[in-house]
Amino acid sequence: MAATPVVRFSPETLLAAQDVRIAFFDVDGVLTDGGVYFSEHGETLKRFSILDGHGLKLLRQAGITPAVITGRDSRPLRVRLEALGIEHVRYGTENKLPAAEAMLAALGLDWTQAAGIGDDWPDLPVLARCGFAAAPANAHCEVRAIAHYVTTARGGEGAGREFCDLLLTAGGHYRRLLDLARGPVA
């Protein structure tokens, strides 16, 4: 018999997130620690959490579309998102709302089926419309104030994965995917 998952969320939180079909992610401050690093040659460097990346892959396996809308654009970011197979991406956009609306329309979804995680003011218009909104523990106070859920993890340190785990649990996918990862029980 497979062990019971240890991940836990309140019933109210799971109920609020159960109909999610698309999850919008900010990058800097959510999938990264929000720092921008520059090499001696002026290259932009970013640090991504492997936990977050695996969470994005799990969402895809569960039929939840991960979508990224970011105000920045860089080669490292493009390489990372391509490696994760993220198809719905908008780079270098400060006004994130039109990008999110276009993605919803292209997928035939509405805001009640959308979740989002962001950490600062540019994310507010999208998060305010999502059926379920989340923020990393170190997000700006205005973002935390409108979030249905604030992660225990900080941006770039597993906040994205915690958000993914919540959506997977709410959608009834977490246990099945965990059992697959554990493999056959002897």
Each residue's pLDDT tens digit, 35-56: 888 888 887 778 899 999 999 9
Per-residue pLDDT reduced to its tens digit, 127-138: 999 999 999 999
Q: Output the six-digit token pair for 52.
A: 């977050």
Is 70 exceeded by the pLDDT of residue 186? no
- pLDDT at site 41: 87
Residue 30 has pLDDT above 80, yes or no: yes
Cite the DSSP H helix spans in the chain: 11-17, 50-62, 75-84, 96-107, 124-129, 141-146, 159-170, 174-182
| pLDDT mean over 58-65 | 98
The Cα–Cα gap between 160 and 157 comes to: 8
> How confident is the model at residue 69, as a pLDDT?
98
